[in-house]
Amino acid sequence: MIYVHNTMGDKKEPFKPEKKGIVRMYVCGPTVYGPAHIGHARTYIAFDIIRRYLEWKGYNVKLVINITDVHDDMIARANELNTTIFELADKFIKKFFADMKALKVKEASVYPRVTQEIEPIIETIKILEEKGYAYETKDGVYYDISKFPEYGKLSGIKPSKSITGTRVETDRYDKRSVQDFALWKKAKPNEPFWESPWGEGRPGWHIECSVMSSKYLGLPIDIHGGAVDLIFPHHENEIAQSEAAYDVKPFVKYWLHTGFLVIEGQKMSKSLGNFITVPELLEKYDARVFRFFIATKHYRSRVDFAKDAMVHATNTLKRLDDFIQRLYEVEASGPCNVDAIISKAKKEFEQAMDDDFNAPLAWRAIFNLETEANRLMAANKLTKDASAKIIDFLKDINRIFDVFSFERKQAQLAEEDMRLIKLREKLRKEKRFAEADKIREQLKKKGIILIDTPEGTKWRLAQ
């Protein structure tokens, strides 16, 4: 049984998806007006690992990630760059997909775009208006949070009385409370717009996620994710919209939030000059190293992207890569009961991941297996069959983390050494064994061990 920490109620709960064997998952996607940064990478890798773990457990996961391609910030950026939001979005959507691919984040099932979902968005706003949750003003349509008494149940942030209780005498076309949020924004001159019952305009930000999640996944959805910054107001508003419009409670069974990524202890921001885009990251580090760095953290923890931590991740992954290469080189045969060690590791791994995807603990199980295997290797007790089983286990785990390299590296020998190996093979065929043995000894002195197999002579470097 998997347990997940639900932000709603702030407690761990047994994970029981609505439909047996199927997980309907929605993760808030990027606003596409600039390159993806390593904070995005953190969140999407963390959810990628959660998604892959659920698949590893046998669930059929349907994942939706929305693309916010119309937004106030996008309009501002498009004006700055003398382009349209459509061109801006096309450019950065392509880059976003390329960045995610480079980071080995598996594709979502659907990536709906706001500008292609205007009709269902308008339909939902109409429902909210008909039910009395929304009102029109001179600049848009707003959600009246005083009509939704449960507002604040996710974040614990309740609307303050002074704001909702005493309504300031205003023009009836003004917003009623500062905390009411826009469902529809009427277009100002030179802004992109769509026709609607409230005139030309565009959707507010929050409504897209209510509409797209229900349209593509149905209701209720099992997992809704994003980083902690989205709990309030974005996810709080999503709940107010969906539960009021679609008569479903709760609209989301489990709210999961990733911790923020900071840089050397500081919030990442352009003004501090510590903003790192995904391409900039990948110029410096192998994508596997960053994935490993994130994979070894708890998804709920804050992540500090610091030089020391990245050096540590680089070295640890290198050590694991070398470990895999050494496993490939084991040639010994004979009895070696490695099954108990592997099943212990697998059990500990699974127990940790079942407990709210506790990756740091799950990795400990893998490191313990490495230590055990190294001990057997050092004592010359690890056999080829046992090594193969360990490699199979690591390959299985890698379906989730996707960090290991299983490419078998053949160290390069000098041309002269390769010539000697070939010559020795020829001598053996001619049954000139004494001369062949001399070559074997000569190479052994250089640390090259020859192994004669039915498929020919192989070599490895002495450890």
- Give the shortest CB-61-to-Zn ion separation in angstroms: 18
Task: Return d(Cα 424, Cα 416) in angstroms, integer.
Answer: 12
Shortest distance in whole angstroms from residue 456 CB to Zn ion:
59
Sign of CA dihedral 4, 218, 123, 83: positive
Residue numbers at the binding site for ligand AMP (CB under 6 A)? 28, 30-31, 39-40, 42-43, 226-227, 229-230, 258, 260-261, 268
Select from 2, 4, 28, 373 the one that contacts Zn ion (CB under 5 A): 28
The closest of 101, 153, 444 to 282, measured between CA atoms, is: 101
Stretch that binds Zn ion, among 133-141, 206-214, 248-256, 377-385 (CB under 5 A): 206-214
| Spatial CA neighbour of 346 closest among 57, 46, 21, 15 | 57
d(CA 106, CA 124): 31
Q: How many residues of this chain bind Zn ion (CB under 5 A)?
A: 2
Q: Residue 20: exposed, middle, or buried by beta-carbon count in 10 A (0-12, 13-18, 19+)? A: exposed
User: Residue 211 or 295: which CB sits closer to Zn ion?
Assistant: 211
User: Helices marked H in 257-301 — which ranges?
Assistant: 278-284, 287-295
Residue with tokens 């989301």: 252
The interface partner of residue 288, options being ligand AMP, Zn ion, none and the CB cut-off 5 to 8 Å by kind, is none
Give the closest residue to 284 by CA, choosing from 269, 305, 268, 301: 305
Question: How many CB atoms neighbour CB 309 within 10 A?
Answer: 15
- CB distance 222 to 166 below 8 Å: no
Q: Stretches 22-30, 42-50, 321-329, 356-364: which one binds Zn ion (CB under 5 A)?
A: 22-30
Tokens matching residue 258: 């990733």
Partner whose binding site includes residue 261, from Zn ion, ligand AMP, none (CB under 5 to 8 Å by kind): ligand AMP
Report the nearest approach of ligand AMP to the CB of residue 37 (Å). Answer: 7
Per partner kind, with CB cut-offs from 5 to 8 A, the member of Zn ion, ligand AMP, none near residue 209 is Zn ion
Contacts of 189 (CB under 8 A, 6+ apart): none
Query: Which does residue 179 bind out of Zn ion, ligand AMP, none, counting CB within 5 to 8 angstroms by kind?
Result: none
Stretch of 23-31, 36-44, 330-338, 422-430 lying at the interface with Zn ion (CB under 5 A)? 23-31
Q: Which is nearer to Zn ion, 28 or 61 (CB)?
A: 28
Q: Which does 227 bind (CB under 5 to 8 A by kind): Zn ion, ligand AMP, none?
A: ligand AMP
In the bound state, the residue with its beta carbon closest to ligand AMP is 39
**Residue with Cβ nearer Zn ion (229 or 437):** 229
Shortest approach of Zn ion to residue 56 CB, angstroms? 26
Rule CB under 5 A: is residue 221 a binding residue for Zn ion?
no
Neighbours of 246 (CB within 10 A): 16
Computed from CA positions of residues 108, 114, 115, 121, in that sequence, does the dihedral angle turn out positive or negative? positive
Cβ proximity to Zn ion, 124 vs 383, nearer residue: 124
Number of other CB atoms surrounding residue 116 within 10 Å: 11
Q: Which is nearer to Zn ion, 100 or 439 (CB)?
A: 100
Integer Cα distance of 439 and 449 in angstroms: 11
- Cβ closer to ligand AMP: 304 or 417? 304
Which of 209, 376, 377, 397 is in the footprint of Zn ion by CB under 5 A?
209
Rounded alpha-carbon distances, angstroms, from residue 456 to 95, 148, 286, 429: 48, 76, 36, 11
For ligand AMP, give the closer residue by CB, 44 or 143.
44
The distance of closest approach from Cβ of residue 73 to Zn ion in the complex, given in angstroms and rounded to an integer, is 15
Residue 160 or 301 with smaller CB distance to ligand AMP: 301
Q: Which is nearer to ligand AMP, 204 or 373 (CB)?
A: 204
Binding interface with Zn ion (CB under 5 A): 28, 209
